[in-house]
Amino acid sequence: MPTDFRFPDLGEGVTEGEVKKWLVKEGDEVKQDQSLAEVETDKAVVEMPSPTAGKVLRLYHKEGETVKVGEVLATIGAEGEAASAAPPAEAKEPERKPSVSVVGELPEEEVLVSSRPEAPIPAGEVQATPAVRKLAKDTGVDIAKVKGTGPSGRVTEEDVRLAARPAAPARPRQVAKFDIYGYIDREPVKGIRKSTAKKMMESTLRTAMVTMMDDADVTELVALRERLKPIALEERKVKLTYMPFIVKAVVMALKNNRYLNSSLDEESGEIIIKKYYNIGVAVATEDGLMVPVVKVAEQKEIMDIAAEIEDLAKKASERKIDLGDLKGGTFTITNYGTMGGTYGNPIINYPEAAILGVGRIRDMPWAHKGEVKVRKVMPLSLTWDHRIMDGAQAAKFMGELLRYLENPELILAMH
């Protein structure tokens, strides 16, 4: 009997992908786990392994076409079998069993597990908190007509806000190559750019972002890095940047300022404070921004972090990064200084509580030991979620971060 290979659920909110390249053609014999195609999601380019051995009876999508989770990519069968003329219907999502969720990578005794099944929802009853009901009333939305996207179909604030938006009038797709001023190009919003746009809007709508800025005198850090660069290259074959030092300094500052290493559970009204430090490092690629995560950075030394960042950045640029390397972040660093930027207003990588923007190091006049001297100065911009913490906590974190960056021997002393 022929086997219909459907585009699998890859997790992390991936709902569709683009067939970048078929690695087989109809009529080819394939082995089990042999790659059939390269599919680009909004996270990475992934290879689709064949679930069985046999003959490729039919490919249902052309290169460049979009395939949704659950749709059939290909049909594999035995010699003499035939695939259906039309693509098989999309698979229905199986009934989910009570979930078991693990918060973070904590020791076994600290793992939070929830296996209690949800209580059944009475027919016709709308599940929503009093705050959501008030929002619906204030915006004139009939909450009974809103489809909930929260747990067990609960209506969320975002559901109400979306329902309150006026429907856009239908209009034909514009295909003109010029407007009244001249010629134009049109580019579809897809892949990483589409994912980034969605993520940034979600963060903007669901957090109360505030940004503060400061400068660090990193003259000693610059000198330390120059001393260690040849050692890193010779012993580890790694190009040593400033980012490993920044990651380590951030981790040390987070340990005394735990609200910056947290997230807000809006449904339960609880702040989830992480006891592990997974630091996301934004990487600019030709396709857009990706954020690989250095897991348990508190357990790693400078050279280990440098090697891991270099490896993750290379995989991200080549779109060969594993989806697991993009998950689990607790705090993010974005270094626009490599592009010449100084200060910025970085957007939080929701649902994290804060993000640090790093600008380019430049020579500046600086009061040092009672004299004005030319020093190496690194501009920093910290954005945090004001729902979770106040300015005093953010300022305390920034103060400790400056202390570590300005005294890099403290960073090396910590393992």
Q: Phi and psi at residue 31, in whole multiples of 5°?
A: -95, 160
For this structure, is 368 an active site residue?
no
Structure tokens belonging to residue 19: 């067939």
Structure tokens belonging to residue 324: 């697991």
Collapse the DSSP code of 8 into the 3-class scheme (helix H, G, I; strand E, B; otherwise coil) and give the result.
coil
Between CA 213 and CA 390 the distance in angstroms is 15
Angle between helices 219-236 and 391-406 (to 10 degrees): 60
Q: Phi and psi at residue 207, in whole multiples of 5°?
A: -130, 160
Contacts of 83 (CB under 8 A, 6+ apart): 2, 57, 58, 75, 77
User: Minimal CA–CA distance to 49: which of 70, 24, 69, 66?
Assistant: 24
**Alpha carbon distance, N-terminus to C-terminus of the chain:** 57
DSSP β-bridge partners for residue 393:
none
Q: Which of 61, 368, 386, 415 is catalytic?
A: 386
Which of the residues are catalytic?
386
